[in-house]
Structure 1
Amino acid sequence: MNGQELLALNADSAATKRTGFWRTLKRERYLWLMVLPGILYFIIYKYIPMLGIVIAFQDYNPVRGILNSPWVGLKHFSNLITNDAIPRVMWNTLVISFYQIVLAFSFPIVLAIMINEVSRSWLKRSIQTIVYLPHFLSWPVIAGIFYLMFSSNGGVTTLLGQWGIQDFNLLSDPDHFRLMLVLQLIWKESGWGTIIYLAALLSISPELYEAAKMDGAGRFRQIWHVSLPGLRSTIMILFTLRLGNVLDVGFEQVFLMLNARVSVVGDVLETYLYSTGLVSGKFSFATAVGLLKGVLGFVLIYGSNKVARRINGRGLY
C-alpha cells in the first residue's frame, strides 16, 4: 500500500467516525437534551470561574480588572506561609473535619444497617421518613432552633437553670462548640446519607443471609460477615469523595453559629476566606488560599482513590 492509498484510507476512516458521531448524537438527542442543563451548570458555574484563579498571582484591583492588575508572582503564597492566622484556622478545619469523618461519616452506615434490620415494612418506612426530614431544613432554620434552645434565655438553658445547672451556654462554650457542629450535622444529614447505603444493602443477595443462618450465624454475625462486606465498595467510594473535601466543613453552618467567644476554635478556612477576601477586600490573597486548598483536595482524593483501588480492587476512576 503506497502513501496516497494510506492517506485516502485514513481520510475515509475519519469521515466514517464523524458520520458515526453525528448519527449517534442524532439518535440520542433527547438524552443529550436531558443532560444539557447539568453540563451548562458545570461549565458556567464551575469551569469558567476557574479563569479567575490568575488573580492569585496578581495584586488584583476590581477597578483595573484582571487584565490590567499588576502581576506579583508567588507573593501571596509566601504571605500565606508567614501568616499567623493560617495555622490556627487550618488546625480548626482539620479537627472539625476529623470529627465529621469519625462520627458524621460513620453514623449513616450504622443507621442504615439498623433500619435494614427492621422487619415490619410500615415501621421501616416511618423511620426512614422521620430521619429524612431534617435534611430539608436549611441551616438558617437549624441555627435559629439552636439559638432559641441554647441561648442564655433559651428553653433548654432555662430548664437546666431550674434544675440547678447554672452558667450553661452551649453556643458560647469553646470546649463544646466543635462537638455541637458535628452533632448538628449528624442530626441533619444522617438520614439522607442512609439512602445510598440502604440501596447497597438491598443489592446483597438474600442467599448470603440464608447461608449464614445455616452456618449458625446470628443477627450480629450476619451484619458483620454479610452486610458490612456488601457495603465495603460503597463505603470506600464515599470515603474517597469525603477525603477530597476534607478542608470543606460547611461554611454556612459554621458562619451562622460562630461568635466572638468561640472564634478561636470555630474559625475555619472557609470563614477566614470570607472575612479576608470579601469583607477585607484581599481578593488575591484569598484566591491563593483557595487555590492551595483545591490542590490539597486533589492530592487527597487522588491518593485515597489509589488506596481504594489497592484495597477494594476498584475506585472512582
Structure 2
Amino acid sequence: MAVLENTMTQDNYLAVADIDFVNMFGNQIESLQEMLGIQRAQKLNIGDTIKTYKSKVDLADGNVDPGDEIPLSTATREPDKTYTLEYKKYSKLVPVELVQKFGLATAVADTDDLLIRQMQENVRNDFFTQLKSTKKTVAATSVQDAFAQAWGNVNTAFAGEGAGTIVFVNPLDVADYLSKQDKALQTAFGLTYLTNFMNTSTTIVTSQVPKGTAYATAPENLNLAYANVAGGEIGKAGFGFTTDPTGIIGVTRDAYKKRLSVVTYAMYAMMLFAERTDGVFKINIKEEKPAGAAA
C-alpha cells in the first residue's frame, strides 16, 4: 500500500528540530540585546577586526584674559584592544541506542537544549572577560554607594550623550536589598536582571561577578558583532544550514552511518563587547564597619 502523501519522516522531524534550535538561539539573542539596551547589531565578515577604544582629553587652562589668545584643548580617541571575528563550530552526536531508548524527538531535542546553554555560556564568558579587563577602578563604602558611584562615573564618562547606566553585580551583594523591594526579576540569555533598580537602567545579577565587586558602563557602550551564516558563498557550499532570521547561527544535521548516530553541527560568529574600554568601571565594595565594632 502506498504511503500517504505528506507523511512525517525522520528527515522531516530533523528539519523541524533545526528550525526550533535556531529560533530558540535567535530569540535569546534578541532578548539579550533588549536586556542590555543594544540598539543595533553589526554584521561583519569573518576575519574582520573589532576595535575597542579609549578617549584622552587634554583640557587647556580656561582662565583667559580679555583679548588674549585661547589655548587649544585636544580630544583624541585612541585604539585600545583588537579582536578578530571568527567562527565557533560545534558538533553533537546522539547514538542510535539513545534514539531507540528515548525516541528521536527526546534524544535530539533535549541535548540540543544543553548545547544551546553551553554556547550561550561561552558568549557570556568572553564578554565578562573583556568587562573585567578594565583599568578604571572606583571605591565604594556600601552596595548603595556602589550604585551611586556607578551612576556618577558612567554619566561623567559619557557626559552630554544622555547615556543610561547598566550595572553587573553579584547576587549576594544585592540579596538584602531585593528582599525589601518589590522588584520583578527577569531572565534572558542565561542572565538574571531587573530594571530601574537604584537609579540604574538595568542591573544584571550574576555570579560571574565576584562578591564585593560591581562593574558599570552605559548600555550605549555595548555592541554585538556577528557574521551572517545564511546564504552567500556558504549557501553555495551545500552544508544545508538552517538559520534564524538574523543569520547569526546555522545548524545542520546528518546521519553518521559509520557510527550509527545522528550528528548535529552548529556554527556562529558573534562577539558581545564594550566599545569604549575607558567607559567601563570596576567598583570595589568595602563595607564600613560601625564605630566600635570588633575587628
Q: TM-score range by the shorter chain?
A: under 0.3
Larger radius of gyration: 1
With structure 2 as the length reference, what TM-score do the two structures score? Answer: 0.27
With structure 1 as the length reference, what TM-score do the two structures score? Answer: 0.25
Instruction: Compare the two structures and name the one with the higher helix fraction.
Output: 1
